Amino acid sequence: MGFKDILSFDERGLIPAIAQDKETGRILMVAWMNHEALTKTIQTKQAVYFSRSRCKLWHKGEESGHVQHVHEIRTDCDGDVILLTVTQEQQIACHTGRTSCFYKRLDWETQTWEAVDPVMKDPKDIYHHE
């Protein structure tokens, strides 16, 4: 039995994957994987996702250098979510230059979202498009 047999990929052939920082426990991001992305993640021990917008494999950090080194892979009781424990290169997972993509916190009083985490690096210095 292959390791993918207990996993529930959705009708698009995708499964959500959470990346959690090994040291801090922070949740860095959530992305998607297909069979091939998961296989490559296991083979390379670096996070490889499937980009829904670009419709192709996305080796996290391929452009930014913000690679995620994978220490552990888990799934849940239903087998419909993947959890990666990672070391995040340069401590920046988010394309906004922040450590985590989860930087917007709900203010209970005003019921508005507030960006509460600092930008560690200007995105212009992360991505160098022609």
Closer of 5 and 130 to its own copies (Cβ) = 5
Q: How many CB atoms lie within 10 A of CB 22?
A: 16
Cβ contacts of residue 49 below 8 Å, gap of 6+? 17, 31, 32, 33, 37, 57, 58, 60
Element (H, E) at 123: helix 123-126
How is residue 87 written in tokens?
A: 């070391």
Q: How many angstroms from the chain centroid is the CA of residue 22?
A: 13
User: Which of 14, 90, 96, 120: binder of its own copies (CB under 8 A)?
Assistant: 96
The answer to whether 104 contacts its own copies (rule: CB under 8 A) is yes
Closer of 56 and 115 to its own copies (Cβ) = 115
CA–CA distance, 70 with 107 (Å, rounded to integer): 33
Q: x/- string (CB under 8 A) for its own copies, residues 3-32?
A: x--x---------x-x-x---xxxx-xx--
CA–CA distance, 25 with 18 (Å, rounded to integer): 12
The answer to whether 74 contacts its own copies (rule: CB under 8 A) is yes
The answer to whether 1 contacts its own copies (rule: CB under 8 A) is yes
Closer of 39 and 59 to its own copies (Cβ) = 39
Annotated binding site for Mg(2+): 76, 78, 80
Query: Which residues of this chain interact with its own copies, rule CB under 8 A?
Result: 1-3, 6, 16, 18, 20, 24-27, 29-30, 42, 72-79, 81, 83, 94-96, 98, 100-106, 108, 111-113
